[in-house]
Chains A and B, each alone.
Chain A
């Protein structure tokens, strides 16, 4: 699987999710990565924080507002791709379960599905 395509397939829905959360998100963390086969059968579950797949925003009353941590680096995504490709059965899709927090300290729960078979095409 070509890394650039994999990266785009993960990042674009994540970036979209971030913009949907607007300026309000404080934390978006890929909690688990579920590897599934064609029949949506679970093949393996990877721990998202072990790949540092998290994005955090700083915000305070003085209106300081900036991304203070972005774990979606090439290195981290490459590690994830390597582990996916090392599984016995190459998964058809990965499901990214995302947990987070907005600036009211309310929960954000989202799911991103990346169809790997389409990337391979």
Chain B
């Protein structure tokens, strides 16, 4: 029976002299008694690293899977979605900052068993770790994933991909689909706006593809920050080379939030431009999110027929389409 107290033993750390070192994410925080990691939710109590968000979700909701966004995985299904608090990145443009910058405010305990049973009760086809960064609530997510797997429910992660290779093997084990945020294709921008580095994220994307985890990528386009056509082109060329042209790329519109309230909302022209660049780089499945009026249907690249018709979260699928399609209709 998992421990559901407010301090749950954490994995992914080693003692280091009088301190401990957490190696869950590449920040590798060295922490003394009582100190919190950069993620805000992993702290040292009695010389041991603990998670302060285990079984303490701050958001629980049944969402269309398209909202994650995952467009090529169990389309039209509902996903039992949960998130906690904190984050290991410090994005100034965070669109979920109410969760990512908080800690210690969740009070309602929901055990992994209850999550799985609620997901079954709600007739959801998957459980999604989302809203804030799932990597930082790894222990909770892993316990849910193990129980969900026994119950035949696939788990998915919406993540920034900022994790060490050593922890990744355990945390991503058994995860069936991921959407990874690729926030900019520049280490300088990553450092400036998120406090993290680009390479570990790219490594996670490549690793997920190699491991056969269904992978989709999202880039939030912020005017004047990461919308430079040359950078977008480099990103798309990298995706094409390392992930193949069948991977879905979600080009998402930024709305002013958190520390970037003075920035403009992404305009339609910028989104069109980014989408065109992605297509020119060979990516077959690009979608524009957080913005109305774009054709986000999935077309067969061979014959042009619609495989999936999307109207916001209303989906009409053509599972019997005769050509090879990137869509995963069911999980065994």
Which residues of chain A have a CB within 8 Å of any CB of chain B?
Answer: 26-27, 29, 31, 49-54, 56, 58-59, 68-69, 71, 99-102, 105-109
B interface bracket (residues with beta carbon within 8 Å of A):
10 to 19
The contact of A107 among B263, B268, B292, by CB within 8 Å, is: B263
Q: How far is the CB of B272 from chain A (nearest CB, A)?
A: 9
Asked if A49 contacts B264 (CB within 8 A), the reply is no
A29 and B291 CA atoms in complex are apart in Å by 9
| 15 chain-A/chain-B pairs, Cβ below 8 angstroms | A26-B268, A27-B269, A31-B265, A54-B293, A56-B268, A58-B269, A68-B268, A69-B293, A71-B292, A99-B255, A100-B267, A105-B223, A105-B267, A106-B264, A109-B256
Asked if B312 contacts A50 (CB within 8 A), the reply is yes
A106 and B262 CA atoms in complex are apart in Å by 8
Chain B residues positioned under 8 Å from A105 (CB to CB): 223-224, 264, 267
Chain B residues positioned under 8 Å from A50 (CB to CB): 292, 312
**Given known contacts A26-B269, A27-B268, A101-B223, is B293 in contact with A107 (CB within 8 Å)?**
no
Asked if A54 contacts B292 (CB within 8 A), the reply is yes
A29 and B256 CA atoms in complex are apart in Å by 12
Chain A residues positioned under 8 Å from B253 (CB to CB): 49
A53 and B293 CA atoms in complex are apart in Å by 10
When C-beta atoms are compared, the residue in chain A nearest to B312 turns out to be A50
The answer, yes or no, to whether B290 is at the interface (CB within 8 Å) is yes
Most A Cβ at <10 Å: residue of B261, B267, B268: B267
A29 and B255 CA atoms in complex are apart in Å by 10
The contact of A69 among B223, B261, B268, B290, by CB within 8 Å, is: B268
Asked if B256 contacts A49 (CB within 8 A), the reply is no
When C-beta atoms are compared, the residue in chain A nearest to B313 turns out to be A50
Most B Cβ at <10 Å: residue of A68, A101, A108: A101
Q: How far is the CB of B150 from chain A (nearest CB, A)?
A: 36
Q: Which of B104-134 contact A (CB under 8 A)?
A: none
**Given known contacts A50-B312, A69-B293, A105-B224, is B255 in contact with A56 (CB within 8 Å)?**
no
Known A52-B293, A105-B264; further 20 A-B contacts with Cβ < 8 A: A26-B269, A27-B265, A27-B266, A27-B268, A29-B255, A53-B292, A54-B292, A56-B267, A56-B268, A68-B268, A71-B292, A99-B255, A100-B264, A100-B265, A101-B223, A101-B264, A106-B264, A107-B256, A107-B263, A108-B264
Q: How far is the CB of B297 from chain A (nearest CB, A)?
A: 16
A27 and B221 CA atoms in complex are apart in Å by 15
